[in-house]
Each structure stands twice: as C-alpha cells, then as structure tokens.
Structure 1
Amino acid sequence: MASFKKTNARPSRFTTAGMQLGSVAACVLLWHFASTLRIDLGVITFSNVPTPQAVISAIWQLLQSNALLPHLGSSLARVFSGYLMAAVAGVTLGLLIGRSRKAENWLMPPLELLRPIPAVAWIPLAILMFPSSEASMIFITFTGALFPILLNTIHGVEAVDPRLIASSRSLGASPRAILREVVLPGALPSIFTGLSIGMGTSWFCLVTAEMISGQWGIGYYTWSSYVIQNYADIVVGMLLIGLLGMGSSWLIKRIGDWLTPWYRLQGKS
C-alpha cells in the first residue's frame, strides 16, 4: 500500500504572494459583478454600491486634490499619540497586575468595569472632559487600544513558567532582574499580540470619534462623503482605513518577530 507522509514544507514566497493576491482579486471581481449588475438579494442589495471603476476614479481625484495629506496627517497623529500612551500604560499595568496579587485586587475591578464600554459611549464624556476635540479623539484612541494591550500583557506574565522564576530566585536574582531577564522575555510574544490587536482597535475607535467630532481625518472624510452622497468616496475612505490599519498592525508584528526570534508559531501547513 502506498504510504502518505505529512510534510511541513512551507510554500515559497511567490506561491504565498500569488495566493494572497488571488484572494484579493476574487473579492474585487465579486464586488465588480455585484455592483455592476445591481444585484438585489432582498436582505442585501448592491443597487447603490459604487463600482470598482467609480472608486478608482474617486481615488485619482483625491490624489490630485490638496485634501489627502491633511486627512492622513491628522488621523496618523491621533492614532499614534493615543496608541503610544496606551502601549506604555497597558504594558506597565499588565506587568504590575500580573506580578502582584495586591495590585490585581486593587486595579482589576475598576478596569474590568470599564473594559466592556464601547468607544462610542465615551465620546460625549470625552468631549465634556477635555478642552479640545483633538484631545478627546486621542483619548478615545487611547481607550480603545489600552485593554487589548493590558489583558494580553497580564496573560503573558501569568503564563511564564513559575519554575523559571523559582530557579532564578534560588540563584540569587533580585526581583528587578527576574522581571527583566525572565518575566519580560517570556511575556513578550503575548505583549506584541496585544500591541498588534490594540493598533487595529485604535483605528476603529479613532474613525468613530472623527465621524462625530473631527474636522480633518479619514473618519471625517468618510462620514462627510456619506452626508453629501459621494458614495465612491465612502469606499475610498474605508479602503484607506483598512490599508492604514493593516499596515500599522503588520509593522508591529514585524517588530515583535524581530525582538522575539526564539518564538515561532508552529502547526501551520
């Protein structure tokens, strides 16, 4: 009888790129046919959805205008301001809560109470709390990114093998050295998972805030396009949000891979 062996050989970069581009092309093709034929399925209709050709034309018009750079600059500044503050606060609090039972008892109840509150619910209070709409939008971005980073840091710290900590302590390592040499490297993969997720949620929250209180930014551009019924521009805004969110999350993941060369995901075929 012929025997079949499993192989863990990874496809080449060209094969992987071809598969990825093929999946995107298939989605664009489906979008083209659904919007061109004005397909109406009852529960969902493409009668008013712009075609890919109309969206490409809108992209070209935006590139020729003077509005693209101000929109991009405003959104990027808000995202990275809130995200960097969330990264510092989330990792610091996560390390503290993960290592200290007393800190967990004091800090986790209010944090768990705040965590389920969606970003949209914070917008009215943020407008009241902060003197400028800019600060309120950065706060919304901070809030959205904080909890994924915080929880993944806590889980990463708690997942560190306690035998490694006990061995380090028995060899005379100080608490600071244990944190720096054992706990932090062990939790780093989980921390970067949280950082990557937090980047995506920060874009989601920023766009929501910009739709309500922004004057520049990708979210404001998308919402104002809907108000004036420039439907192709809505899709342009959505694509910009998707590309920026995907690119920034990819960058965080690459930095994480560079800082954790000992950690590799297994089992993908």
Structure 2
Amino acid sequence: MTTADATSAQLVPDRPGTVVEAPASDLPTVRREGRATQWRRRGIRLTSVLAAVGLWQLLTANDIRLFLRFDTLPTVTEVAATLVNRIGGQEYWLDLGQSLIRILTGFGLAAAVGVVTGIMLGRSKVFSDVFGPLTELARPIPAIAMVPVAILLFPTDEAGIVFITFLAAYFPIMVSTRHAVRALPTIWEDSVRTLGGNRWDVLGRVVLPGILPGLFGGLSVGMGVAWICVISAEMISGQLGVGYRTWQAYTVLNYADVFVGIITIGVLGFATAAAVELIGRRATRWLPRGEENGR
C-alpha cells in the first residue's frame, strides 16, 4: 500500500473482535451495506410478529381445538376493536399512568439503593459481614410473597405496591453491582493510588466506570422483574393500574379486555427495558461493540 493509500485507509469492522483496513473510498459502500442489513433484519423481526398475530387470528377465528382450546380465546379483530375503544377513554390512560408512576418510583429507588449497597458490599468487608447475610436471607423470598407484609406495614395500598416493586428490582441490581465491583482488576485501583489518587478518585475513575456493563445488566433484569411484581401487586391490592384493570376484566369474563391488558403490559415492559438498554449503551459507548453491532 502506498503512502497515499495508507492515509486514505481506515479501519472498518470485519467480524466480532477484528478489524480490517479499507480504503476511505469504500466507506460509503460499507455504510450502505450496513444499513441494508439493519433494514433486512428489522423486516425479519416484523414479519415474525405479524406471522404470530396471523396464526392467532387463524386459530381463534376458526375455533380450533387441538391440545389447546383456541376456541375460547378472543380473535385478533375483537382485541383490536376493544383496544381502540379503550384508548379512546380516559380510564385506560389513568391506569397506564398509575402503573408507570409505580414502576418508575419503585425502580428508581431500587436503582439508587441497589448501586450504593452493591458497591459497599463489594468494597467493605465490615459492611459485607453485617449487611451481607441479611441480603442473602431475604433475596430468595419472592417479592410478591411480601404483599401481606406490605399491607400490614404501610398505611396505603399505593405505598405497599411501590415497596413490592422496589424489592423486586433491588436484588438483581444489588447483586450485579456487587459482582461487578468484585470483578474489577486490582491493578486499576493500584495504578490510581500510585499516581496519588485517594479513595474518591478510585471510586470515580475506576469503580463507577468499571461496573457500568454489569450494572446495566442488573438494571435490565431488575426492570423486567419489577414489572412482573407491580402487575401482580395491582391485581391483589390495587385500585388503579393496568394489572388491576386486567384482573377486573377477567372476573367479569371480558376476555378481550384481558388481552388488551396483556398487550399493554408487554408494550410497557418492552419500552422501559429498551430505554434502560439505550441509556446503558450511551453510558458505555467507550466499550468495543463489534459483536453487538452484528446483532
């Protein structure tokens, strides 16, 4: 390669973990191929969803009864009509807003407390000896099993539901943070201290950046578990919310409304998990993304 070619050459991804040299003149072609691949994969994903919806309509509209009783389920068109009707009413949006307030409050508290206690468990032997056994004893208990305790402990159902949501998200976040802290190479901390850094420098320059990949993995898991528990808590003791309305629809045998609730829960869970993942990607953009870019 001549000096001019070397100047115009740039590194482009070849496969996960490797790069190859490509002339700068080829970069527009590489970008076009990358965009075409992305659109093709999006098309495949959309097709798979539409195929599942079409199969649902086929089985329910024709009252198919094999091993499963599809003839008892509402059709796609019935659910779609109910969804449009619900969206046009105020009650649907009140329920949606109430569930979002609960999940964001409980998850936000769990994220703050989970990160702090996870770092302390990973770095302080005294704190780990005192607080660690308590977390390990409480962690196997399903958060939804604490609903009776929340009803007795808190003066309002609203505070109890937020507490259940907090518990559900706290443990995945705390555990992932603790493991991420303990997995940090000690040479990183030694390097900062050798250069004259104190414990706050270690925390800000080593611990917090180093645990971000593991932390956001725990946040993603915590968000999913939190949705499971907030919906369950709303079904048991809620007054408003998507879970409460879905259970009410089931008690009056309004199955189309039940599926509206299920779909709403799925969309909310997907949107919030995607938001956590997007924030995580932004916060860890300095990491190599070769494998993820190929997904």
* TM-score of Structure 1 vs Structure 2, range by shorter chain: over 0.9
Equivalent in 241, 261, 268 of residue 285 of structure 2: 261
Q: Which residue of 2 aligns with 1:149?
A: 173
Distance of 2:234 and 2:253 partners within structure 1 = 18
Superposed structure 1 runs of 4+ greater than 6 Å apart: none
Q: Which residue of 2 aligns with 1:29?
A: 54
Pairwise CA RMSD: 1.7
Equivalent in 7, 31, 39 of residue 14 of structure 1: 39
Distance of 2:129 and 2:287 partners within structure 1 = 31
Distance of 1:257 and 1:183 partners within structure 2 = 18
1:209-259 CA distance string (max 9 Å, x none) = 000111110000110010011101111101111111110111111111111
Q: Which residue of 2 aligns with 1:92?
A: 116
- TM-score, normalised to structure 2, is 0.85
1:74-97 CA distance string (max 9 Å, x none) = 111111111111010000001111
Distance of 1:117 and 1:68 partners within structure 2 = 32
Q: CA deviation at 1:39?
A: 2.6
Where in structure 1 are there 5+ consecutive unaligned residues? 1-6
Residue 223 of structure 2 contacts residue 273 of structure 2 at CA under 8 Å; is this kept in 1? yes
Please show how residues 1-269 of structure 1 align to structure 2 within 5 Å.
8=15, 12-42=37-67, 44-267=68-291, 269=294
Q: CA deviation at 1:105?
A: 1.8
Q: CA deviation at 1:24?
A: 0.8
- Report the more deviating stretch, 249-258 or 167-176: 167-176
Distance of 1:206 and 1:214 partners within structure 2 = 9
- TM-score, normalised to structure 1, is 0.93
Q: Which amino acid aligns with 2:158?
A: E
Q: How many residues align?
A: 263
Where in structure 2 are there 5+ consecutive unaligned residues? 1-13, 16-32
Residue 102 of structure 2 contacts residue 161 of structure 2 at CA under 8 Å; is this kept in 1? yes
Rg bigger for which structure? 2
Distance of 1:48 and 1:265 partners within structure 2 = 46
Distance of 2:46 and 2:234 partners within structure 1 = 31
Distance of 2:44 and 2:185 partners within structure 1 = 38
Distance of 1:163 and 1:198 partners within structure 2 = 30
Q: CA deviation at 1:265?
A: 4.5
- Relative to its length, the structure with more strand (as a share) is 2
Cα distance change of structure 1 residues 109 and 41 upon mapping to structure 2, 3 Å threshold: farther
Q: Which amino acid aligns with 2:266?
A: G
